[in-house]
Amino acid sequence: MSFTMRFNGVDMSRFFRITEIIRPIGNTRNVMTDEAPALGVNIQQIKVGPKEHTIKFDMKTHRPADMEAMKHELAGVLNVSKAVKITYSDEPDKYYMGLPYGDVTVENITRWFQRSEMKFLIPDGVAHSTSYKQFDSPTVSSDKVTFNLTNNGNVNAYPIITVKHHAENGYIGVVNTSGAFELGNREEADKETGKHSEILFDYRESKITTGLSSATAKNTAVLNDTSQTLRGTIGVDNSWGRPHLHLTNRGGTSGNNAGSLTWDIPADSAGAVGSLNDYIWWRQIFWAGASNQLGFIKVTVSDEQGQFLYGVETIKLSNGLDTQYNFFASDGKGGYNILKRWKFSCTHQDNHNPFNQNRGWSDLKRNNDYVTVYYWGGYHKIPVPQIRNKKSAKIHVALGAVGNRPLVTHMYLDSIYYRKDYVPFTRDIPNRYPNGSSVVIDSETDSVAVDGMKKPGDVVHGSRWLSIPPGDSKLELYFSSFIRTKPTVTVKFEERWL
């Protein structure tokens, strides 16, 4: 039988032919004991160690010099400082996380044909399924949602639980035989006189196309300045299987040109128009396909008199990859001040760009004369005394081009919604997880995210990250007692084997 192996994404067949793969049964077990009073011993602890794989292989080239060059190249591939993904052709449904260790001494049968073996350490000690096992058909009762789960692995699996809300909720509790995990506040009430938050427009995900058609005005945006002419056209692009709004026509090549959309902030449930307490969440992509591409995205807020209040811009004005993310606000004199600047590289890589294909979540939160800006995992609260007591009235988005320079390839608006905070009410209260929000409890990485943003503070003290035992088991989820419609919940996990 012929074997193939991939190490850290590299097909190792280009270096050698595998003759044998030795994978021991299970793992090393270290048993700690002490003396029993009369007979035998007492077991104090059992520790299951890592796995070790041995790969025996042949290397063959046409010339001795080629052999030495290939050995150097192979050494470079194997030179990793942490465990990486390893797959074998005889286990197509599994992968391992490992790294080589020890010497790789070769047997020189001839200079052009050599035989050797190498060892790989699997620190986590398990094989992982290559695909997630997903459960999305729970039993829904009046007080809980129950999953009947099957883990065909022989060790615990770590679930990723996604809760998509269809009504306001303040609490999520998850329970199984491994423990209990809680988010939010179990005692959060729903019926009282006070103030709450209301989503006044919501164009997230596939609804972004509705946002395009529902805009109250086009090419009339109130931005931080007039350095761009608003005469472009915004349309829909469906890259990567999801809809985005993008600049389909810049409208001209003289100076900066842009297309814009404006949404009026609707009246709240109390009939009040305008707000001093805004929350704007959106998802944008800003990923250049070439270093000479330029462009900008602006998200701004204007007041009841049509004057600019505050906003952010993502802007690339020069060759290279350097891109700015700037927060600016009114200076109270008809102009603006840039109050915070950040820089990133507009590539596809996670460590370069917070606005690449798989991310792009952003938000602004205003409380009268303070605005909190989210950028790359951090929140920055900035005083803006010039906007004190000036009510927000409209939200604007502009997508722009710089002269006749090539436009940034992936410059999109994927989602946007507006929430007004501190709306007076007599029946409901602001709840932690609004209608439409998505909560992901990830026991693989011990993290919680709400609408794509990390929320470690939501985890109740004393909670335990859950695991799914081998075989059949139950997982139960509980929510606030006042929730009107149960969320849609999915559970997925990698099965794992010793």
What token pair was written down for 359? 């991310």
Nearest to 29 by CA among 43, 18, 12: 43
| CATH class of this structure's domain 205-419 | mainly beta
Tell me which architecture the domain covering 5-128 has in CATH. Answer: Beta Barrel (2.40)
Q: Give pLDDT tens digits for 105-116.
A: 888 888 789 999
pLDDT confidence band for 425 (50 / 70 / 90): confident
- How many C-beta atoms surround the C-beta of residue 329 within 10 A? 27
Instruction: Report d(CA 388, CA 381) in Å as an integer.
Output: 15
The pLDDT of residue 189: 64
The pLDDT of residue 428: 61
> Contact, 393 vs 261, CB < 8 A?
no
Instruction: Report d(CA 233, CA 337) in Å as an integer.
Output: 28
Q: Is the pLDDT score of 418 beyond 90?
A: yes
> Contact, 414 vs 286, CB < 8 A?
no
Q: Give pLDDT tens digits for 313-335.
A: 999 999 999 999 999 999 999 99
Look up the CATH number of domain 132-190+431-497: 2.60.120.860
Q: Is the pLDDT score of 426 beyond 80?
A: no
pLDDT confidence band for 170 (50 / 70 / 90): very high
Q: Report the amino acid identity of residue 407.
A: L
> Contact, 297 vs 413, CB < 8 A?
yes
Q: Locate the DSSP E strands across 170-255.
A: 171-176, 179-184, 194-203, 217-218, 228-230, 233-237, 244-249
The pLDDT of residue 430: 72
| Region 278-307 average pLDDT | 98
Instruction: Report d(CA 97, CA 6) in Å as an integer.
Output: 11
DSSP label of 68: H
The pLDDT of residue 105: 81
- Measured CA to CA in angstroms, residue 485 lies from 146, 161, 253, 489 at distances of 15, 18, 51, 12
Q: Which residue has the tokens 């299970």?
A: 26
What token pair was written down for 34? 């002490």
| Region 414-428 average pLDDT | 88
pLDDT confidence band for 104 (50 / 70 / 90): confident
- Measured CA to CA in angstroms, residue 105 lies from 71, 115, 117, 122, 407 at distances of 11, 9, 7, 21, 54
The structural domains of the chain, with segments of one domain joined by +, span: 5-128, 132-190+431-497, 205-419
User: In sequence order, what DSSP letters do the residues of 136-148 get, joined into one string?
Assistant: ---EE-SS-EEEE
Buried-state track 299-316, b at ≥16 Cβ within 10 A, e below 16: bbbbbeeeebbbbbbbbb
Instruction: Report d(CA 474, CA 147) in Å as an integer.
Output: 6
Instruction: Report d(CA 399, CA 313) in Å as an integer.
Output: 10
Sign of the Cα torsion 180, 183, 185, 186 reads negative
| Region 384-391 average pLDDT | 98
Q: Give pLDDT tens digits for 32-79.
A: 878 888 888 888 888 888 999 999 999 999 888 999 999 999 999 999
- Measured CA to CA in angstroms, residue 191 lies from 48, 208, 420, 434 at distances of 52, 32, 19, 16
The pLDDT of residue 1: 64
Instruction: Report d(CA 75, CA 65) in Å as an integer.
Output: 16
The pLDDT of residue 81: 95
Q: Is the pLDDT score of 463 beyond 80?
A: yes
**Identical topology for domains 5-128 and 205-419:** no
What token pair was written down for 279? 């929350």
The pLDDT of residue 192: 66
> Contact, 360 vs 414, CB < 8 A?
yes
Q: If you count them, how many residues does the chain have? A: 498
Q: Is the pLDDT score of 259 beyond 90?
A: yes
0.85 surpassed by pTM = no
| Region 232-254 average pLDDT | 96
Alpha carbon 193 to its chain centroid, in Å, reads: 36
| Region 446-463 average pLDDT | 95
Report the relative pairing of strands 308-316 and 322-330 from DSSP bridges. Answer: antiparallel
DSSP label of 445: T
| Residue 471 backbone class (left: φ over 0; alpha: ψ -120 to 50; beta: rest) | left
Q: Give pLDDT tens digits for 183-216.
A: 998 877 656 667 889 999 999 999 999 999 999 9
> Contact, 431 vs 188, CB < 8 A?
yes
Q: Locate the DSSP E strands across 426-462.
A: 438-442, 447-450, 453-454
Instruction: Report d(CA 363, CA 416) in Å as an integer.
Output: 9
The pLDDT of residue 21: 94
CA-derived radius of gyration, the chain: 29
Q: Is the pLDDT score of 427 beyond 70?
A: no
Q: What average pLDDT does the chain have?
A: 94
The pLDDT of residue 43: 85
> 295 versus 114: which is more confidently predicted?
295
The pLDDT of residue 46: 83
User: Which strand ranges, in their side-by-side order, compose the sheet holding 447-450?
Assistant: 133-135, 488-493, 160-164, 438-442, 447-450, 453-454
| Region 222-247 average pLDDT | 97
Q: What is the percentage of the chain residues whose pLDDT exceeds 70?
A: 98
Nearest to 4 by CA among 16, 184, 108, 231: 16
Helix (H/G/I), strand (E/B), else coil: 408: coil
pLDDT confidence band for 22 (50 / 70 / 90): very high
